[in-house]
Amino acid sequence: MAAVRIVILLVAVACVCAALRVNRPEMAMAVSLAAGVGALLLSKEDMHAAVQLMRDLSEYADFSSEAIALLLRAAGVCLLTEFGAAICRDSGEAALAVRIDAAARIALTAMAAPVLTSVVERIVLLLR
């Protein structure tokens, strides 16, 4: 499983970063960032498998491809903003991390608007 390899890698990198942070905090930040990117690359196959599973299930359940695309985009926004916010927190920029989180919430709300509109339209049709 890639998850076990990723956890082992990141725990080892955390130890290295803790040692580096004493004398070279900028180097610790660079190592941490590189490890985060490496972890994402290691999980690429698992992400691809999850996307393929969602596509297969959507075909089986006869979901619209737009709904699945929206769900995948929302998941991508969540992953990227969490990654960016964590980097900001690690570098001591908690205020920037909060703004990234807020931007993610706004983006996800905007992405959900078409789904909410569709739900309201269906409810109105059922009530008529």
**98 contacts: CB under 8 Å, gap ≥ 6:** 85
The residue extents of the domains of the chain are 64-128
Residue pLDDT tens, the chain, 128 long: 688 989 999 999 999 999 999 999 889 989 998 998 999 899 999 989 988 998 888 888 887 778 888 888 999 999 999 999 998 998 889 999 999 999 999 999 999 998 888 889 989 999 98
Q: Which two tokens stand for residue 90?
A: 């690690």
CA separation, residue 61 to residues 54, 64, 68, 85, 125 (Å): 10, 9, 11, 35, 22
- Tell me how far apart the alpha carbons of residues 72 and 68 are, in angstroms, rounded to a whole number: 6
